[in-house]
Structure 1
Amino acid sequence: MQTRRVNGYDMAYLALGEGRPLVCVHGTLGDFRTFAAVLGPLSRQHRVIAVSLRHFFPAHWDGTGDDYKIAQHVADVIAFIEQVEPRPVDLMGHSRGGHIAFRIAQARPDLLSKLVLAEPGGELDATLEAPSSVEPASRAARILASVEKIRAGDLDGALKNFYEGIEGEGRWARLPAVAKQQLRDNVFTLLGQVGEDRKPYSRQDAHSIRTPTLFIGGTKTTGSLAVVLRALSAEVPGAQLAMIEAAGHWMFDQAPQAYSKAVIDFLAA
């Protein structure tokens, strides 16, 4: 593990391999360990740099303060990339990290060569016409329910509620111990997601992306994550879409070979 000073914060990261930099940004409850299952394959042709966002492991945040914001994380990753050589870099983000990567592509396309978005998190605004069958408040309700459990001291209950809201009932019990511990290490970051001012995606946002983009999804992912994936991949100019069979939201853990191949083929094209 190494650290790099960005915006007054020591951002932790792992780096391995040689070649064009591929910066990887994790999602909710993740950290630089999130992409562990695919770091080996991806680093055969790239210098893979997996970061931990502000307040995530190895930090031990208690949820206090007002700097847990999408805008802050976007600014931090931009400042981090500005210190990476050579540039432009390839950028890959998952879930929350996909939202951050999308906003970086909007704000600083000069820093990027290619963009990989694995089921980017967030909501759609009215211009992207989210289907009425998807409840727009479902993510917020899931976060609030988990936050209530954290404040009551039921940390595993909070994680189970959040994880199974995405992957389905009964999946928490089947999650390996190592994966559960990573989520536990970051559980208090859920507190920061209440009122973090995450802006929804618009059609104009999608049309503004000019970096060559690959969207990746799992065929078993349902709900708003699947809706956002389909909407954005249809609107970002020239975007490609790869679907990982028999995988859900954490598709790089569930099907690492297929995931790695999709990313490697896109970056090599």
Structure 2
Amino acid sequence: MQTLPVNGYDMAYLEIGAGPPLVCVHGTLGDFRTWSAVYGPLSKKHRVIPVSLRRFFPEHWDGVGGDYLMAQHVADMIAFLERLDAGPIDLMGHSRGGHIAFRIAEQRSELLRRLVLAEPGGELDRSLDPAADLGPSPRAARIVSSAEMIKRGDIDGGLAIFCDMIDGDGAWARLPALSKQQLRDNAYTLIGQVGENRQPYTRSGAESIKTPTLFIGGADTPGALPVVLRALAAHVPGAQTALIAGARHWMFEQAPQEFCEIVLAFLGEA
């Protein structure tokens, strides 16, 4: 593990392999270990650089403080890419990390060569979904419930609510012990996420993306995430879309070989 100081915080990351840099940004409750199932295949052709965002493992945060914000994580990642000084890089983000990667592409496209968004998280505004509610979504309400349980000390209960919401009923129970422990290591970040002030995606934002973009997801992912993926992919210029049969939101764990084949083919395009 290495660290790089960005915006007054020592961001932890790994470097695996050699070649063009591929920076990987984890989602909610994740960290640089999120991508462990695909380190090997991706690092055969790339210098794979998975990061841990501010307040995530290896830090064990208590959920107290005001710097767990979407804008802060976006700013941290931009500073991280600048500090790498590796030229335009390939950037891959999953879920909440996909949201962060999307915002970087909006704000600083010159830092990027290609963009991979694995079921990016977030809400759509009415320019992308005319039926979008103005208030909190049912998914946001479930996150609040999960965070409240964690705050009361029921870590596994809160994580079960979150995982089952994302990947279907019984998702938490199906997880192997190692995956459950990684989520527990980051459980208190869910408390921060409740007040992170994440803004919805807009059609003008999607249309502004200049970076060649791949949207990848699980064909069996339930809920709102596939809706977000389709809406963004329809408006990001020239975007490609790939869905992995039989996989859900953590598709790179459930179908790592197919995931890597799709991503590497996209990154290898001239």
TM-score past 0.5 threshold = yes
* SS in structure 2 of the partner of residue 49 of structure 1: strand
Mapped to 2, the partners of 1:259 and 1:156 lie a distance apart of 29
Is the aligned partner of 1:231 residue 2:231? yes
Task: Kindly tell me the number of residue pairs found equivalent between the two proteins.
Answer: 268
Q: Which position in structure 2 is the counterpart of 1:86?
A: 86
Is the aligned partner of 1:114 residue 2:114? yes
The alpha carbon displacement at 1:132 in A equals 6.5
Q: Which position in structure 2 is the counterpart of 1:17?
A: 17
* SS in structure 1 of the partner of residue 194 of structure 2: coil
Cα deviation digits, residues 153-175 of structure 1 (max 9, x gap): 11000000000011111121111
Answer yes or no: is the 8 Å Cα contact 2:124–2:132 preserved in 1.
no
Answer yes or no: is the 8 Å Cα contact 1:25–1:51 preserved in 2.
yes
Higher mean alpha-carbon deviation, 238-247 vs 167-176, is at: 167-176
Q: Specify the code of the residue in structure 1 equivalent to 2:228.
A: V
Q: Which position in structure 1 is the counterpart of 2:220?
A: 220
Percent of pairs with identical residues? 66
Higher mean alpha-carbon deviation, 238-247 vs 148-157, is at: 148-157
* SS in structure 2 of the partner of residue 215 of structure 1: strand
Answer yes or no: is the 8 Å Cα contact 1:123–1:136 preserved in 2.
no
Q: Which position in structure 1 is the counterpart of 2:139?
A: 139
RMSD, aligned α-carbons: 1.3
Mapped to 2, the partners of 1:119 and 1:198 lie a distance apart of 16
Displacement over 4 Å in runs of 4+: 130-133
Higher mean alpha-carbon deviation, 49-58 vs 123-132, is at: 123-132
Q: Which position in structure 2 is the counterpart of 1:58?
A: 58
TM-score (norm 2): 0.97
Q: Which position in structure 2 is the counterpart of 1:29?
A: 29
TM-score (norm 1): 0.97
Answer yes or no: is the 8 Å Cα contact 1:38–1:260 preserved in 2.
yes
The alpha carbon displacement at 1:136 in A equals 6.0
The alpha carbon displacement at 1:110 in A equals 0.6
The alpha carbon displacement at 1:130 in A equals 5.5
Mapped to 2, the partners of 1:206 and 1:232 lie a distance apart of 6
Mapped to 1, the partners of 2:107 and 2:247 lie a distance apart of 31
Cα deviation digits, residues 122-157 of structure 1 (max 9, x gap): 000000016569x96122111111012112211000
Taking the TM superposition and a 5 Å limit, the aligned residue runs for 1:39-78 are: 39-78=39-78
Q: Specify the code of the residue in structure 1 equivalent to 2:111.
A: L
Q: Specify the code of the residue in structure 2 equivalent to 1:208.
A: S
